[in-house]
Amino acid sequence: MLNIIFIGAPGVGKGTQSALIEKDYSIVHIATGDMLRENIANATELGKTAKTYMDKGELVPDSLVINMLKERITKDDCKNGFMLDGFPRTIEQAKELSNILDSLNYKISSIVYIYADEEIIIERLLKRGRADDNEETIKNRLKVFESQSKPVLDYYEGKLKIIKVKSGRGEPEEVYAKIKAELDTL
């Protein structure tokens, strides 16, 4: 069972790389944002509760996201393993994730940390053309990543194998080759 946590700022290529890993290793990519939207669309109890927060523009509480995540990783399609994208974002979430995994007798195999220079990230995100992808918003999102998610990486340092890969202007296949070489040693 290969269980991976993806950490990286917006625009570094987590989605691209996770799709390649999903295909080669037959493990499920779980993005917490997608998970929330799916629960809301399916009108699950967790989804209905999450929607009340989201409709008010509030963050969904950690406890609710953690319950959704626990429910999600116990599904049959996760029996070969899973990749978590967007969770944990804080040290508190990392601690809660450890509790969940311990209760299910699961372990995280590795952290995949993808990083890139700020100017490359800004360039990529501006090309996506989303309404919220303007330079000021992007820079703010990068600051939030640095302040909230980077400490998660420090939290796992020394506890788990961390695969660090720089994403540049090169081909995604080059980045993937580096990640795959490391995953194959697990």
Q: At what angle do helices 45-55 and 32-41 cross, to 10 degrees?
A: 110
Q: Is 37 an active-site residue?
A: no
Q: Is 72 an active-site residue?
A: no
| pLDDT of the residue at 166 | 93
**Average pLDDT value for residue range 83-96:** 91
| pLDDT of the residue at 132 | 67
> Is the confidence at residue 59, as pLDDT, over 80?
no
Q: How far apart are CA 111 and CA 84, in angstroms?
A: 10
Q: Is 130 an active-site residue?
A: yes
Of 38, 39, 59, 35, nearest in space to 48 by CA = 39
| pLDDT of the residue at 149 | 82
Q: How far apart are CA 165 and CA 113, in angstroms?
A: 6
pLDDT in tens, 14-31: 989 999 999 999 999 999
**Catalytic one among 75, 79, 128, 143?**
128
**Catalytic one among 23, 56, 127, 130?**
130
**What do you get for the CA distance between the two ends of the chain, in Å?**
10
| pLDDT of the residue at 156 | 96
Q: Which helix (H) or strand (E) holds 5?
A: strand 2-7
> Is the confidence at residue 34, as pLDDT, over 80?
yes
**Average pLDDT value for residue range 120-128:** 90
Any residues with CB less than 8 A from the CB of 145 and at least 6 apart, and which?
9, 10
Q: Is 169 an active-site residue?
A: no
| pLDDT of the residue at 55 | 84
Q: Pull the structure tokens for residue 93.
A: 């979430």
Q: Is 141 an active-site residue?
A: yes
> Is the confidence at residue 75, as pLDDT, over 80?
yes
**Catalytic one among 51, 141, 164, 166?**
141
Range with the poorest average pLDDT among 2-6, 14-18, 57-61, 83-87 = 57-61
Question: In the predicted model, what is the mean pLDDT of the chain?
Answer: 91
Cβ-in-10-Å burial (0-12, 13-18, 19+) of 2 comes to: middle
Is residue 96 within 8 A of residue 156, CB to CB? The reply is no
Q: Which helix (H) or strand (E) holds 176?
A: helix 172-183
**Average pLDDT value for residue range 51-59:** 83
Any residues with CB less than 8 A from the CB of 57 and at least 6 apart, and which?
none
Q: How far apart are CA 39 and CA 93, in angstroms?
A: 20
